[in-house]
A and B are shown apart, each in its own frame.
Chain A
Amino acid sequence: MPIDEAQVRHVARLARLAVPDSDLARFAAELGAILEHVARLQELDVRDVPPTAAALGRPGVARDDEPSAGLTASEALAGAPASAAGMFQVPRVVEG
């Protein structure tokens, strides 16, 4: 397998995704099978081939630099799981 349980644990931490220990083996097997499949990409000779991150190679289209109305604070906060004093509320980030 190209990926073991320790790597799955590491990737889950990078992705901020809680994965129970009981799921690690299954993830390793599933991700391993997919990675083995996509290893076919190594068969192709792509020396000197530039990468394409976006097709059609278009530059972004900038809008006119003019202010326009956006959401109000209360609209932006309406879907928040927790808010207070016109702000999103989260668990404490700094000690003290």
Chain B
Amino acid sequence: MDVAPYEWPAHQVRRALAAGQVSARKVAESALRRIDEVEPAVGAFLHLRAREDVLADADAVDAAIARGATLPPLAGVPAAIKANMCMRGVPASCASRVLEGFVPPYDATAVGRLRAAGAVILGATNMDEFAMGSSTEHSADHVTRNPWDLGRVPGGSSGGAAAAVAAGEATIALGSDTGGSIRQPAAFCGTVGLKPTYGRVSRYGLVAFASSLDQIGPLTRDVRDGALVLAAIAGADPADATCAAEPSPDYEAALRRDCRGLRAGLPVELLGGGTAPEVRSSVMAAADLLAELGAEVDECSLPTVPYALDAYYVIAPAEASSNLARYDGVRYGRRAAGAADYVEMFGRTRGEGFGPEVRRRIMLGTYALSAGYYDQYYGRALQVRTRICQDFEAALARFDVLVGPTTPSPAFAFGEKTADPLQMYASDVCTVAVNLAGLPALSLPCGFHNGLPLGLQVIGRAWDEETVLRVAFAFEQAADLTRRRPPLLGAGRMGG
């Protein structure tokens, strides 16, 4: 069967290039053609780089191959970047009107490392404004559609990144995850999504939302690609004081086809009453498969995790209200016209520039930090955060990984949760606790329901992405689900 290069995982691109079976230009052309075909329906991108610039990058890879240079690990791999990461010369609007026209003068560290690893960057992907949302419906620009069902959301906030990878437009993508924004769209779009340990990947050049929670990570077709991309972007960075000095191991070497000698915990709180029956049965079947692969699987408890959503929706808005103070119409982006003084200019710039969800969170966070309420809300949430961290510590002393659903339900329809912010927030119920504890976690497909993908979440100990990747890889190889592609426009059978 002739599968076009746009459908290949990154490790296949690397192999084919090394064997001289394809050129980087052919791979890039295949991705660009795929974008021409499906982007009008999917809407994954906010900004596409000029075709000739993309092809010039691919030609540079081919020239290096012709010179006999050693191929970097992601040579010629078409990549998409969430629009909250800075790329020199490419607009990074964060899907917000307040950053209209902002073109960064520098590369985020993760983007620079991806380029250095040979990736060919296609453009910036759609997202919920400033990464605040779970459906990409809060983009000020346009909606992104789920490639598995164009009537449904791709998840969020990295919805464009997940949709681009699922639709075959990009081979790999970088997203950011503050409360589930990589894992939840990965689950909804049937891709692999990895949130690394807090501090594993530099946040330099990532537009800050909640600095104690934000982390950049890969969205990929399969687990091996996740390991490859993490290896390319991880590691200390003098430009980010929260980026750890921990050495980055060879993640690909951690991949094995069994789970022998590993203990996997199944936290009962992640399968609570709000979980859809199809999600529950799919996760239980996944746990059985892990046991067949040699893992010791047992139930466990994270008693404070049912309060994680409440703690998160105090802490994240509090940090956001502080971080987003920088959008004042002075240094970049939009400025409201005709203001009489600077106070009016700040207020109107921000009132006109921010969308409803961002305004809501700034207000919420400002309130939670304000005199008289700080202890009741923010202080309290930080204490609950400690208890959540302790829950995970105790569980991960007994188990090597914890497994559960990534989301309580498969992808929902447009408009289903936009009227009630609390309903939208509830779709993060399985993911936010992991960010509060700073742990690594990965989502990968574990089943389908009515044609929609379901995600299995694998949570690991801090700095132990290797075990997370190993469990995910063993499951992926045995379950054989990640090769399934959305029916969108006859994916995979379109020729070169």
Contact = CB atoms under 8 A, between A and B. Distances in A.
Contacts of B16: none
A7 B368 CA distance: 12
A90 B334 contact: no
Interface stretch (B29-37, B241-249, B470-478, B481-489): B241-249
Nearest to B387: A49
A64 B245 CA distance: 13
Contacts of B362: 15, 17
Q: Which of B346, B379, B383 has the most CB of A within 10 A?
A: B383
A88 B330 contact: yes
Contact of A91 (B342, B364, B383, B389): B342
Contact of A76 (B105, B377, B438): B105
Interface stretch (B132-140, B309-317, B441-449, B452-460): B309-317
Interface string A39-77: 011111010011111111010111110000001000110
Most A CB contacts (10 A, CB to CB) among B239, B332, B333, B367 go to B367
A31 B364 CA distance: 6
B330 A90 contact: yes
A43 B387 CA distance: 13
Given A40-B307, A55-B389, A58-B242, A81 B350 contact: no
Contacts of A37: 310, 313, 422
B314 A41 contact: yes
B199 A58 contact: yes
Interface stretch (B220-228, B291-299, B321-329): B321-329
Q: Which of A7, A61, A92, A93 has the most CB of B within 10 A?
A: A61
Nearest to A63: B238
B398 interface: no
Nearest to A47: B383
A38 interface: yes
Contacts, number: 176
Given A17-B362, A55-B436, A44 B387 contact: yes
B47 to A, nearest CB: 15
Given A91-B340, A91-B342, A60 B238 contact: no
B334 A50 contact: no
A46 B383 contact: yes
B142 to A, nearest CB: 23
Contacts of A3: 367
A15 B242 contact: no
A17 B351 contact: yes
A1 interface: no
A18 interface: yes
B212 A54 contact: yes
Given A8-B363, A41-B307, A91-B339, A14 B370 contact: yes
B183 interface: no
B257 interface: no
The winner among A20, A76, A79 for most chain B CB atoms within 10 A is: A79
B462 interface: yes
Contacts of A17: 347, 350-351, 354, 359, 362-363
B77 interface: no
Contact of B212 (A38, A53, A81): A53
10 contacts: A3-B367, A11-B370, A17-B363, A30-B421, A34-B360, A50-B386, A90-B330, A91-B339, A91-B342, A91-B345
Interface of B: 101-103, 105-106, 197-199, 212, 236, 238-239, 241-245, 304, 307, 310-311, 313-314, 321, 325, 328-335, 339-348, 350-352, 354, 359-360, 362-364, 366-367, 370, 376-377, 379-387, 389, 421-422, 425, 436-439, 462
Given A18-B347, A33-B421, A91-B342, 8 more contacts: A11-B366, A16-B328, A16-B346, A34-B313, A41-B381, A52-B386, A60-B241, A78-B105
